Amino acid sequence: MADANVLDPKNPSGPVQVRKLKVRVDRDLCIGAATCIAIAPNMFALDSDAKAIILSTSDQDSDDAIIDAAKGCPVAAVIIEDEQGNKVFPK
Ligand code: SF4
């Protein structure tokens, strides 16, 4: 696919593991608002379908930035779990 710099080419929108956070984008929910990209630009980008994908540079954004990006998504399409599988966001 065209988005060569995704973290997991098989799962461009995740789930991916970044440090202790498991992150995925629900592509059915994502409306391409790009708030996540403004907050965590190393992690998120939009693909050609205007859905958020997760970049190979994700570990350059802090945990706080990643969680804030999820909180900033207007449709709560960024889903984060901890190592135990507990929801970090949305709760
Ligand atoms: S903020 Fe939410 S809706 Fe907007 S691109 Fe990111 S995941 Fe998609």
| E-assigned strand segments in 1-91 | 16-18, 21-25, 44-46, 52-54, 78-81, 87-89
Please say if the pLDDT value at position 1 is more than 60: no
Terminal alpha carbon distance of the chain: 33
Mean pLDDT of 59-63: 98
Tell me yes or no: is domain 16-89 CATH 3.30.70.20: yes
Please report the pLDDT score of residue 5 as a whole number: 94
Q: In the sheet where 16-18 sits, what is the strand order? A: 16-18, 21-25, 78-81, 87-89
* Contact between residue 30 and residue 24 where contact means Cβ atoms under 8 Å apart: no
- Give percent of the chain with pLDDT exceeding 90: 95
Altogether, the residues listed in the chain come to a count of 91
Q: Which of 29, 36, 48, 89 has the most ligand 1 atoms within 8 A of CB, as the residue to mutate? A: 36
CA of 84 to the centre of ligand 1 (A): 25
Please say if the pLDDT value at position 52 is more than 60: yes
Mean pLDDT of 40-69: 97
> What mean pLDDT value characterizes the chain?
95
Please report the pLDDT score of residue 4 as a whole number: 64
